[in-house]
Each structure stands twice: as C-alpha cells, then as structure tokens.
Structure 1
C-alpha cells in the first residue's frame, strides 16, 4: 500500500467534522437571561424580541427649523406661470405669500397650539407641530421675518414634518432574539421608551495552557522550553467572540494539580478552554487525566476529527457544576483553527447568538493549492471583493506555517475531505474573519 493510500485509510477512521460539531453543540445550552439596563446591555445578545411600547416620534413634530403653516395658505408661493398652449414657464419675479407669525415653538414647548388661516409659527427642529399645520417651510425659503414672514417658495404638503409613529410604530419589532445589542439599537430602544432589555450574559471563559515545556512570554524558546503563545492568543480570540475571557496561564503536567486547577475555575467559568496535551504521546497528560471518569466531577471525551490542522479535540464537562470544557491542540496554528471550528461556536451558542458560525462566501481561487485527502482543511487566506461583484481568495501559508498565515489572514479557505487539489480559477468556500484591514 502506498503512503498516500495509508494516509487516506487513516483519515477514513476519523470522525467527520460536521458530525463532531453536531454532537458537541447539541450538548450546550444558552446561558439563562438577565434583565439589564440599556447602558449595560451593549455587546450582549438579546434573549427575546424587543417590541416598541410607544411610537417614535411620540408626537407630530417639526423635522427642520422654519415656519409651521397650513399648505393651503402657501399654495401660490413661488409658482411658475402657465398657459394651455405653452405649459409652465417662468413668468418673471417669484410670487410670495405673507403670513402672520403668531408665536415661537422650541423643542421644549409643551402647550398645544392651533393654527388659523393666514398664520404660522416659527419652529425649531423637534418642536411639537401646531394643530392644523401640515408643512414646515425652511428658513432659507423665507425673508426670516419675526412678526410677519414672506414665504418665497411653497414646499410639498408634509415637507419638514415628522408624524407620530412615522419611524417606529407601537408593537413594531425593533430587534430580534439572537441579535447583538449595538449602539444604534440602544438609541432606538431608548427613543421608543425602553429602559431595560432581556439579554444573555456574555459567557465567562477561562483559558489554560498545559505542558511542562511551557514558559511565559518575554524570552525566546530553546531546547526543552516552548513559549506559551496559545493562552494569550486564545484569550484574545475569546474576547473577539464576545466573551469575558480570563487567562490563567500555564499549568504543569501534574495530574492532581491539573484536575484541581480546572475544578477551581468552574466557580467563575461558563466555559473552560485548554490547549496542549490532546494527543496520545507520552507527554500528553491532559488527555489521560480528563478522560478518566471522576465521581460527580464530569469527564471529557477526546476524539480524532477529520480536521487539518490539528485532528485531536476534546469536549466534556468538569467539576460538580459540570462546566463545559473545550480541549484544543498545543501547536499554535492548530489551536487557533480549533478555536474557530469548535470553541467559537460554543461561545456563540452560550451567548444565545444566531448564527453561531462565521459568515461564508464563495470565492474565485487565485492559486492552485493541494490539501491532505480525507481531512477538512482550514487554510489562512486573504479575501477581496471583485469589481462587478463576487470575491477572490489568495491562499496564505498553511500546514506547519499556519500561525504566520493567520497573522495576515482575513478569511479561512475551506477545502473539503475529498479535495486533494483545488485548481486556480475554481470556486471555493471561505469563512470571513472579523478583522478590519
């Protein structure tokens, strides 16, 4: 049997990624909702649809500074001459209409007032509209008179006016469950008279790196020592995903110390992410420790998944509270890809966000790439929009260089299990990353 055939046979023994993700995500539930003040709700996910309890605007109001009037009183202002045979034409000087200004209304005015024929009110933007008014004439269309005003041009009926409920009607859906609360949403809720909303809390995520070989950042790796890049990167990735993330740092490969540390963290975590020790080698202590059932302490199942890079992933619970734990590989590039395909969807699901996966697009591949058969590969890539529509995708460094490729990427090129070669010019799937470039 050839080396290629051996590799494909081994890959066939791995669990398909879609099947694995389904089995994991079915075990998770969104966190219980909280009723939060608007100022605290930003960045959280709505747990229920938000409906407008009041109209916006709440009353008829002036949309601009000017003069509130009845359109019938302005009907002749600024009109062109007309003749049955010649149509409209400029008949000379503009015709104006003179109205008496009977008062001034500002945004703080509250007493109801009424217009009579031949009168108007000077109004500021946001002022309540006088009863009977159906148009606001812009200031620059007048001589800006105070006791009386000359209207030089007649706007269309309804111009410069905002009617009650014109933007938001009572009972209108302002935002749906599963949506992240944004600053414009906060403004919309407040304008409609909403002071509190029901949201899912941001998941509390604890990140732990494991391995006797790990040393903290600030010095280069040397034989027998590896700088812990993963816990820093995964903490940042969890924050980007909307979590409240805490980096615990490095835990040595001590079985009791590892189990004790994780159980201690269950008191402040909704999800624990570990990195390192997911394989079956002599130094992979995490897999041996967490895969042992513990009385009332939960267990973690490790699965070899048809994923490239990093096939070994773990998922289960720890502690009496059975807090979910996601175990990712120790190689930094594989850890970050594992986060994208497993940990990030878990965080989104706990937060109640919909959808839980990143958006994807079809893109035109600019360069031929090869991929290991039997594995679903996620390769760093740069995505760009094409003139006239659509996208192009340029593959970046993958394989052993995935980490450096990810540093430049704004997308992940996805090559399915049956793909061994994707030719330049073919159409491929690309996940879009939340990165501003």
Structure 2
C-alpha cells in the first residue's frame, strides 16, 4: 500500500478492532490488576462495632473526671476484654475493664484510658506498657489508678466510622490494587466481577538474536526487544508471555504464532516489517490465513517507527501488532499503539498516556524532519511551586538504536509533523512514561 498513515490514523484503526474483554468472577488475589465491572456496595458497616484503638481501660467518663497524678481516680477492674471477645462485662459506675486494641467496647463504657495514663493495675505509678498479649489474662478483681481524664468517645473507633452499610465503596472502572483488594476483604467479599488482565504474547524475530546470558558469535546481538516489550506489557497491566527470538524463516514464524494464539489476547512481534530481503514477518503474515485473517503492513509519518503492521489473525480474530526491530523504534511503537490496545481490552479509560505541556530546557534546541511526527526521548521535570510549566531536556539523539538513552529517559517529546525547529525555552508536548 502506497499510503502513508499518520500516527492517529494507525492508532484509531487498531482501537476500532479492539473490544474490552468479557467479565469473569475471580478470587480477590487473582483479581489484582483487573478492572471492576460493577459498583461495590458495603453490606455492613466498617468497623462493624465500636472498638478500642488503644490498649488500656474501658471506663465511664464521669468516673475519671478531674483525675490527675496527685488525685487519681481509683476504679475496680472487673475483667479483661480481648480482640474477638464474645461475652462482654458491663462496666458499672466506679468500674473499669482492661481492654486490648481492636476489642469491642463493653456495655456501659464510654471511652478508653490508654494504659500509659494509669498505673497498669499495679497500684504504682503510670504504666509504660500493657502486659504481653500472650500472657494469661488477669482474673477479675483488683484496682487501677487513672491519672488523666478522658472525653466521651476518646480512643474508640465508632461503628461505621470507616464506611457505613449501603455506601458505594468502589465504583465500576476501578483498577484493583493492594488497597482495594484489602477493602474488599474487609467488607467480606471473597470474589469480585472484573475484566481479566489481557494476555500479551511477545515474539522477536531475527536469526542474529541470542538469548541474554549466552555467547555471541560473529554478527550476533542479544535479544533485548522481547524483554523490554514483555516488561512494558506487564507495566500496562497485562499478563505477558515472552516467547523469545524466532529465526528468519517464514514457516517457523507462522507456526510459532499459531501455537501461541490459544493463550493470546494480543500478539506483538518485533523486527521483520521493513523492506529488506529477510523481513520474514511480512512474508509470513501478509497473506490471508486459514481463518481469513491477515496483517497489513504500513508506512507511518513518524520517527522512529515508520514501518508498522496490524491485523486480526486466527479463528478468534486476535489482534497482532508487528513493530519495527530497532530497540527504540520498538519501544516507542509499543507506547503509542500496543499500550492503548491493552488498556482498551482491560476497559480502562483513558487508554492513552496523557500529554502535558513543558518548556524545552534553557540550553537545548531540537530539529525534526518535516512531514514526520518525531518522538524524542527526554527527562521531564514537573512544574515547581509557582511555575505553570515543567521542563524537559532531550536525552541522547534521534537514532533508533540508542537504547542506553532510552533507559535514561522518562518521557517522550512529541514534535508535530510540520515543526522543524524548536528553540530553548519554547513550549513542547511531552508524554510522561512514569
């Protein structure tokens, strides 16, 4: 095809072909990283009962009013209340119950006096700490001297103070990470309905590629693309499977991809999409497969990443994105095209990383080829107090092989097709990558 596609046209074509995955019910830990498809309503208040936030003594407020070091309030200790206690003693006037953190408040008690404000029931001065929880509880009886007054509700976690029954705790579209999983467990949910994490299969192509840790022969290089793309897929929220390098043979590559379709929601390849004699991805995938699918290879008005491929293959019409082989081209292409597709499968919005405006650093200037949308690597500093814009400085050059500069960058500098020169201090569009 002779048409040169824009970045937006290529991405729009990909996203038109991608639909969110069907929801499934998962156990909580299996749902981490997935997206909720329903609002979660709290069935019972949290905490479900008034409980102590301190180790100390549950008391009536009037019994400790005016208490001091010189004139402590002396209360009869009627028993212990531990976390998980069922039968609770009733605190009558002139009495106190020794209570542990998280234990339910006994009837009659209005507040908790921290143990540090008492003699610990020893008949001596203020206690430094409660006895170890593993120790056998003291029998009812004895006295405790309280050296400070407390207000009603002091050191008490009230029922529903975290969230009340009937409240929507999490809304549909929320990505479940550790805090959300913890909340679901706290309100008693054992499973949750979510969209599963997309499965991304990553292959790199090239007979010159050697697995890291191996020995390089003449003309060989280590396979970095399959690693960076797999890591990028995981960062995007996918379950990523790295197949590794496939030799420059069309039949071998076609067989490798067909074998992987059973566990793929997206297939990503790198290399073999240009116009060289050994660009086997084009040779293997340009023709229609048995299920009627094929991959279209395109020229994009962008740098790096001019050659791209996209299509739907196999019986399930699985999206396949064929990326260039140069390391920087491959990674930039992933960020611009694969990551949005992964996010669309997850049902997350927005699917793209948001861009921000920034000033080019004071001593830097940039040039860009006319007619190509260039994505340079950069280091972005957010705006400081009193500043409207952050700053960005380019890292490395425009070469698509400069993987060291890529590792030092945390943003892409997005230069439009018709912009050729940008001077120091001028405003540019930046896509933060973290």
1:310 deviates by: 1.0
Q: Does 1:96 align with 2:72?
A: yes
Q: Which moved more, 1:393-402 or 1:190-199?
A: 393-402
Equivalent position of 1:149 in the other structure: 144
Equivalent position of 1:279 in the other structure: 274
Equivalent position of 2:427 in the other structure: 427
Equivalent position of 2:45 in the other structure: 55
Q: Does 1:228 align with 2:223?
A: yes
Q: Which moved more, 1:244-253 or 1:21-30?
A: 244-253
1:191 deviates by: 1.3
Equivalent position of 1:6 in the other structure: none
Q: Where do residues 362-377 of structure 1 align in structure 2 (5 Å cutoff)?
A: 362-366=357-361, 367-377=364-374
1:385 deviates by: 4.2
Equivalent position of 2:190 in the other structure: 195
Q: Where do residues 35-54 of structure 1 align in structure 2 (5 Å cutoff)?
A: 35-54=25-44
Label 1:180 to 1:420 Cα distance change in 2 as closer, same or farther (>3 A).
same
Equivalent position of 2:130 in the other structure: none
Q: Does 1:172 align with 2:167?
A: yes
Q: Where do residues 393-408 of structure 1 align in structure 2 (5 Å cutoff)?
A: 393-400=392-399, 401-408=401-408
| Cα pair 1:299 1:316 within 8 Å, conserved | yes
CA distance in 2, matches of 1:27, 1:94: 79
Q: Does 1:381 align with 2:378?
A: yes
Q: Where do residues 179-258 of structure 1 align in structure 2 (5 Å cutoff)?
A: 179-217=174-212, 218-220=214-216, 222-223=218-219, 225=220, 227-258=222-253
Query: Gaps (5+ residues) in structure 2?
Result: 123-141
CA distance in 2, matches of 1:307, 1:47: 36
SS at match of 2:5: coil
- 1:256-302 deviation line (CA, Å, top 9, x unaligned): 33333322221121111011222234433322442333342412222
1:219 deviates by: 4.4
1:65 deviates by: 0.9
CA distance in 2, matches of 1:250, 1:150: 75
- 1:117-157 deviation line (CA, Å, top 9, x unaligned): 23221111111101232211111122222623232222333
Q: Which moved more, 1:225-234 or 1:153-162?
A: 225-234
CA distance in 2, matches of 1:221, 1:386: 48
- 1:47-97 deviation line (CA, Å, top 9, x unaligned): 33333222211111111111112223333335xxxxxxxxxxxxxx75533
Label 1:377 to 1:39 Cα distance change in 2 as closer, same or farther (>3 A).
same
- How many residue pairs were aligned? 408
Equivalent position of 1:292 in the other structure: 287
Equivalent position of 1:85 in the other structure: none
Q: Does 1:354 align with 2:336?
A: no
Label 1:398 to 1:66 Cα distance change in 2 as closer, same or farther (>3 A).
same
Equivalent position of 1:110 in the other structure: 86
Q: Which moved more, 1:199-208 or 1:327-336?
A: 199-208
**The one of 58, 65, 77 aligned to 1:75:** 65
Label 1:307 to 1:134 Cα distance change in 2 as closer, same or farther (>3 A).
farther
- 1:302-333 deviation line (CA, Å, top 9, x unaligned): 23223221122221111112111111011111
CA distance in 2, matches of 1:229, 1:143: 66
| Cα pair 2:290 2:314 within 8 Å, conserved | no
- 1:352-411 deviation line (CA, Å, top 9, x unaligned): 333322344433321222222333322211223454266332210132154221111122
1:25 deviates by: 1.2
CA distance in 1, matches of 2:252, 2:76: 86
1:43 deviates by: 3.0
**The one of 97, 121, 142 aligned to 2:97:** 121
CA distance in 2, matches of 1:418, 1:150: 81
Q: Which moved more, 1:154-163 or 1:413-422?
A: 413-422
Q: Does 1:335 align with 2:334?
A: no
TM-score of the aligned structures, taking structure 1 as reference length = 0.85
| Cα pair 2:58 2:112 within 8 Å, conserved | yes
CA distance in 2, matches of 1:417, 1:94: 81
SS at match of 1:278: coil
**The one of 264, 270, 288 aligned to 2:265:** 270
Equivalent position of 2:299 in the other structure: 304
CA distance in 1, matches of 2:47, 2:72: 32
TM-score of the aligned structures, taking structure 2 as reference length = 0.85
Equivalent position of 1:418 in the other structure: 418
Query: Gaps (5+ residues) in structure 1?
Result: 1-10, 79-92
1:347 deviates by: 1.8
CA distance in 2, matches of 1:100, 1:111: 19
1:34 deviates by: 2.4
| Cα pair 1:113 1:131 within 8 Å, conserved | yes
| Cα pair 2:75 2:143 within 8 Å, conserved | yes
| Cα pair 1:221 1:227 within 8 Å, conserved | no
CA distance in 2, matches of 1:361, 1:173: 32
| Cα pair 1:76 1:154 within 8 Å, conserved | yes
| Cα pair 2:297 2:307 within 8 Å, conserved | yes
Equivalent position of 2:390 in the other structure: 391
